[in-house]
Structure formats: C-alpha cells, structure tokens
Amino acid sequence: MQGDTADRILESAHALLADRGYSAFSYADIAAMVKIRKASIHHHFPTKAILVTTVLKQHRNELGLALRTVTQRIDNPLKRLDAYVLHWEKCIREKTEPICIAALLGAELPSLPDKVQLEVKRYFRDLKEWVKETLQQGHSKGIIRLEQSASTEAETFIALMHGAMISARTYGTSKVYTSVMQGALRRLDAQL
C-alpha cells in the first residue's frame, strides 16, 4: 500500500506541475487530490524538491523507454520523429498531458532548486541525444535534410516542439502545435 500511495502522490504532482508549474502548487493541493494528510506526503517525499525531482526522473525514464520503443519499431528516422510529434499532439488534444513538464520547468529554471534544475537538464540532454541520433541516421539514409549540424538541428526541433506546446496551451487548441510541427517535419524531409 505504501507504494500505491507514493505512486498516487507522484501522479498528482505530475498533473499539478503540468497545470501550474513548480511554484503554484503545494502539498495541500496534493493532499486534497489524493485524499491523504500532508504528513503522509512528507513521509514519502520530505521536501518539494525531492518530490519534483522524483517526478522528473520518472518522466525522463518514461521518455527513454518510449524513445527506445519507437526506435526499435520504426526503421525510418523521419517517421520516428513524426511518431514522437504525434504522441504529444494526442496528449495535448486529449489533455492527458497538456505540456511536457520538463519544458515547462525549463522556463522556470532560475528559480528552481539545484536538484530540480539538474533533472530538467538531464531530460533535455537525453531528448536532444535521441533527436540528434535520429537526424544523423536519417541524413545518412538520404531521408532527412540537414541545413545545420545534427546537434543544432536537434536543438531547433526541440525548441520548436516545446514552443509549439506553449502556443497550444496559450490558444487552447492542439491545432497550432500540429501546424508548427508538421512544418518542422516537412523542413527535414529530404524528399520534398
């Protein structure tokens, strides 16, 4: 049961982070969602920094698993990127995860505790490495066109994606995200 409570706390914290960011939620908010006392949350996660770092580690681990799965299942690197884009489009459209919490926390980085900052940076590093490798593979197969280095193109792709998430949140529709990211994928398509 202890694991179940911790999991529900983490799930609630993740949802609150996506909805409000780091500074705008408290243990009282989680206690109300999970229907437990704040002391129970402190038992599992003594500080907010520990809680959010744990949520981010879980988010990063899920990212790693998803990216490995996409890489194994989809041979075409451009289609891999498209699958990743479509995953987030569905999350935004269905409001299951309206924004990547690492992207949201990246905007708050200067005000975050050091442990949280480090985990946000690790998330960005892992995502960039996968996008860069995918771009390099696509370029070597003649599927992806690179105008700059794969590293710079990966940073551009990630910045566009996260910016499109913020725009979708601002406008209240996934359509802006979809439009921006379809344009990003077309720009990379060596067949166009």
What per-residue confidence (pLDDT) applies to 126?
A: 97
The whole-number average pLDDT for the span 87-97 is 95
Cβ contact 88:161 at 8 Å:
yes
Torsion angle in degrees (nearest 10) through CA of 60, 66, 67, 72: 150
Question: What digits encode the pLDDT tens for the residues 138-169?
Answer: 999 999 999 999 999 999 999 999 999 999 99
Tokens of 192: 């166009």
Question: What digits encode the pLDDT tens for the residues 3-25?
Answer: 799 999 999 999 999 999 999 99
Question: What digits encode the pLDDT tens for the residues 122-144?
Answer: 999 999 999 999 999 999 999 99
Residue-range domains of the chain with CATH:
49-188 (1.10.357.10)
Q: 1: pLDDT confidence band, cut at 50, 70 and 90?
A: very low
